[in-house]
Amino acid sequence: MKYIVVLLLGLLTGVALFAVGLTYNPFVGKRALSPLAVTDSQTVMLSYSAVAADAIMYTNDGESRIDPLPEKVQQLWEAPIRQSSAMVTVLRDGRSHVAGVGVKVSSAAESTHLLKGKALLDSIWYVYLPGQGSFFVEQSENYWDYLRDIVIPAYRHSGDTWKGTWMGNITDGPGTLGMARVVGGSGEFAGMEMLGVETLSVGAWRVEDGPLAAEGQLIIELPSVSADVDAEMDSLPDDN
Amino acid sequence: MSICGSISLKTAQARRVRRGRDISGNTAPSVAVRCAVRHKIDRIRCWICCNLTKLTATALERHITTGGGDVLLKTFIFGILLGIVAAAGVLFAVPVVDQYREVSLVSVAPNGGSREAFHINVPGDRIMTGAAGQNSSLPIGLEWPKDEVLSTVSIEIFKVRNAQNTVIGVASRALAKENDADIIDWIIHLPARGSLFVGMEPQSLEGGRRIGKLRAGSQEFDDLTGFITERWVPDTSGGDDAPLGRIELLATYVSNSVPFEDQEAESLE
């Protein structure tokens, strides 16, 4: 009997050690700077409040940490969409002026692999910027660093809150260099294929409500003129 | 023989410990003293011997003389290793996210490709209607931004159903006026399957249909081109609980190797 008790205690200790090792594994997470931070191409930068209460509309299954908004909005309770959320929000330009509106729909990704430090969401954005046009963003978002640096410390804190400054790139593919795939829809963006990155900066987070102070940013890299010229040159018939 | 069992107490040490260093209340002083002295040297082993197993004095004496401490320690270490391996194995084998899936009801299109029908019951599946200057908001309490920039845009969010009337996804329809022309874009998100981005032609076709090109898709729809038609179908059942009607979305997916224009022309004929 005593051996079984000791074995069970060892098992529990092992699981706890594994959890600690997984969480603080120095070889996982901490993505480098966004590749767009050093791009020469023109970029479109749009920011939005990542606090659900600031959105025009936010809904989920109604049982998650973040409450739907407005209060009487339909919830996504049906089984196939239970792990999804939808948000409509105002997008602002670099001078904090309203630039357009964005619709974000995301759902938990089956490719989530915690052993590899991947806590993934599949998400899409539809962005409409009046006077400029619309585009569609398709991405996987990795919240591993977010969980490790914000959520777990918040649970450990006696007040169930986390305060600080956290900034991270949450886009994790499927485009080149782990960027999001962006496809133009109308206006200036019509026919364009672009890359993008979504970043989050968080100032406060509470276990009960989720983010209290957070801002998201969508950075879209427009195709460079030189790339267009190269493509046109390639399409010209050969004189020889 | 275990470390505890190999303890050889000198008289002076024993006297010193007897004066107040007995750590185990469950064991006889003589045995507890031996462990307490050892405790200074090997804390983990002594903790297992005296506290963890809570052995009685007789059992502890037997345990010390038979070398049971080593076996217990090995069991504990084995448990730790087993725990680590088990946790890693479970995390590797059991999916953290397992989305509920409905069967995809896809049929073969007469002109090639495949076809899938979606629909939205109105008003039941409408989650949100946002536009400037609307008299009644949906949902109640929705505040569309008053900024002039967004005065020509309206966004609707819906739940999307398959041909068996089961909710399988979330869709958004955006309508905007740009240079006196309408822009109508759909996004359809089907969890675990992928998403579709469709730009509709502003002009309606015969029968009130509107056709749009599949501009982009993700995951399952990544390598597909094709088109989607939308159509408003009023309800004629007359039932009390019947919806006002439904928006029918008929998607035709075509392999990337076939030019979209050819497919579209055939379809319209």
DSSP chain B: --TTTT----HHHHHHHHTT----TTS-HHHHHHHHHHHTT-HHHHIIIIIIS---HHHHHHHHHHTHHHHHHHHHHHHHHHHHHHHHHHHHHS-S-----PPP-EEE-TTSSEEEEEEEEETTTEEEEEETT-SS-BSTT------GGGTTEEEEEEEEE-TTS-EEEEEEEEEEEETTEEEEEEEEEETTTEEEEEEE-SS--GGG-EEEEEEEE-GGGTTEEEEEEEEEEE--S--TT--SEEEEEEEEEEETTS-HHHHHHHHH-
Whether residue A61 has pLDDT greater than 50: yes
- Closest residue in B to A2 (Cα) is B53
Whether residue B245 has pLDDT greater than 50: yes
Residue B236 is predicted with a pLDDT of 84
Q: Does B74 touch chain A (CB under 8 A)?
A: no
Contact: B185, A128; criterion CB under 8 Å: yes
Residue B31 is predicted with a pLDDT of 57
pLDDT tens for residues B169-215?
999 999 998 877 889 999 999 998 999 999 999 888 888 889 999 99
> Can you tell me the distance from the alpha carbon of A104 to that of A126, in angstroms, rounded to the nearest whole number?
6
What ipTM did this prediction achieve?
0.88
Domains of chain B: 11-93 (no CATH), 106-268 (2.40.480)
Q: Does B196 touch chain A (CB under 8 A)?
A: no
- Closest residue in B to A108 (Cα) is B97
Domains of chain A: 41-223 (2.40.480)
Average pLDDT of chain B is: 78
Question: A34 falls in which pLDDT band (50, 70, 90)?
Answer: confident
Question: Chains A and B: how many Cβ contacts under 8 Å?
Answer: 245
Closest in A18, A114, A187 to B96, CB measured:
A114
Q: Give pTM, 2 decimals.
A: 0.79
Whether residue A21 has pLDDT greater than 80: yes
Residues of chain B contacting residue A142, judged by C-beta atoms under 8 Å apart: none
Residue B181 is predicted with a pLDDT of 83
Contact: B199, A186; criterion CB under 8 Å: yes
Residues of chain A contacting residue B100, judged by C-beta atoms under 8 Å apart: 79-80, 82
pLDDT tens for residues B220-244?
898 888 899 999 999 888 777 788 8
CA distance B199 to chain A (A): 7
Residues of chain A contacting residue B95, judged by C-beta atoms under 8 Å apart: 110, 112
Contact: A115, B183; criterion CB under 8 Å: no
Q: Does B192 touch chain A (CB under 8 A)?
A: yes
- Min mean pLDDT across A25-39, A102-116, A208-222 is at A25-39
Closest in A13, A130, A174 to B79, CB measured:
A13
Residue B27 is predicted with a pLDDT of 47
